[in-house]
Amino acid sequence: MVPSRKTVHSSATPALPQQMLALVMSALAQDPAGGWMAYAVGKMPSKYARITRLEMTWTVGKDAKPSKAFYSPWFGMDPDDNLNLVQPVNPWGGNAWSMYTEYFQWRPTHNSNSKQYKVNAGETLHGS
Amino acid sequence: MYNKNEDSYLLSQQIVETGAVSSQTVPCQDGKKYTIPYIVYEKLFPCGDYPPDGIVTFRNITAECDGVDCTKDIVWEAKVKDANCNMAARIDYPQPGEISITWDTSMPSAYDGLSYDDLEALNGQSGWGKSLVQSRRQVEI
């Protein structure tokens, strides 16, 4: 996903260079993206060409306090260039959990999501 | 699950208790081969905004490579991209073969001083974060 932008914008800085900088940053962006906190990455033996199936199960977390925060635990996978992320996601949207699958492509940028379902704390999710 | 004939993956997620399934088929761009698995906790907010249980555990992890069970051939490594709230990935925790991500909701965060508008801008640039922010704005309209 697109990295978080922590740039502090200054009114003294011309707009065009900032736009160019954003374009350059976007062109260079890839996973792991800004905003990822802790993560585990797997290394597949080189004797294999590709992962053909990946499955996991987890329990939806306890409800957080209501807020405007949003975040998600998820698992997924990328090709070697880290530009095509497939992921079952489990976002907290500030007052409820949901689940769906997402595809995020960095170049050219493309995003597709499957149907979103509400899911409750303590329920079990199985992704593949 | 990979479909060789279509060079695509069927992505699927199920709520086990209800049977509800959400899925889509994703074609592989330019014949790319998926080789890197990830387990991630994503988006930056103050620590007190995260769930109070402080842990999510991915279990029953299974993988096939070229159609062969390669679950035990994959070597997992714990990393941190953007440190926040002592978020940490833990391999083989709490049980062998399981991977957890843990955090501490009582810690101070570098994001404590930002407004939620700033945090939306920070975290809602694209993907599911962008979709979520857009849907919120539609509701507000």
Residue A87 has phi, psi (to 5 degrees) of -160, 125
pTM of the entire predicted model: 0.90
Contact A64, B49 (CB under 8 A): yes
pLDDT at B27: 98
Quote the CA–CA distance of B17 and A123 in Å, as a whole number: 7
Which of A:78-107 have CB within 8 Å of B? 78-89, 91-93, 99-105
* Run means of pLDDT, 10 residues per run, chain A, 128 residues: 39 56 66 95 97 98 97 98 97 96 95 96 98
Q: What are A18's two structure tokens? A: 């900032």
pLDDT at A20: 64
Please tell me if residue A29 touches chain B, with a CB cutoff of 8 Å. no
Option in A2, A32, A54 nearest B37 (CB): A54
Write the ipTM. Answer: 0.95
Contact A78 B80 (CB under 8 A): no
pLDDT at A27: 65
Render each residue's pLDDT in chain B as its tens digit; 141 residues. 999 999 999 999 999 999 999 999 999 999 999 999 999 999 999 999 999 999 999 999 999 999 999 999 999 999 999 999 999 999 999 999 999 999 999 999 999 999 999 999 999 987 788 888 888 888 777
Contact B126 A104 (CB under 8 A): yes
- Say how far residue B92 (Cα) sits from the centre of its chain: 18
Residue closest to A84 by CA, chosen among B120, B67, B34: B34
Please tell me the distance in Å from A28's CA to the nearest CA on chain B. Answer: 15
Q: What are A61's two structure tokens? A: 């977390």
Secondary structure element (H or E) that encloses residue A119, with its range: strand A117-119
pLDDT at A127: 98
Quote the CA–CA distance of A43 and B86 in Å, as a whole number: 24
Option in B36, B64, B122 nearest A52 (CB): B64
Please tell me if residue A126 touches chain B, with a CB cutoff of 8 Å. yes
Please tell me if residue A49 touches chain B, with a CB cutoff of 8 Å. yes
Please tell me if residue A30 touches chain B, with a CB cutoff of 8 Å. no
Residues 6+ apart with CB under 8 A from A123: A59, A60, B15, B16, B17, B18
Quote the CA–CA distance of A100 and A114 in Å, as a whole number: 6
Name chain B contacts of A85, Cβ cutoff 8 Å: 38
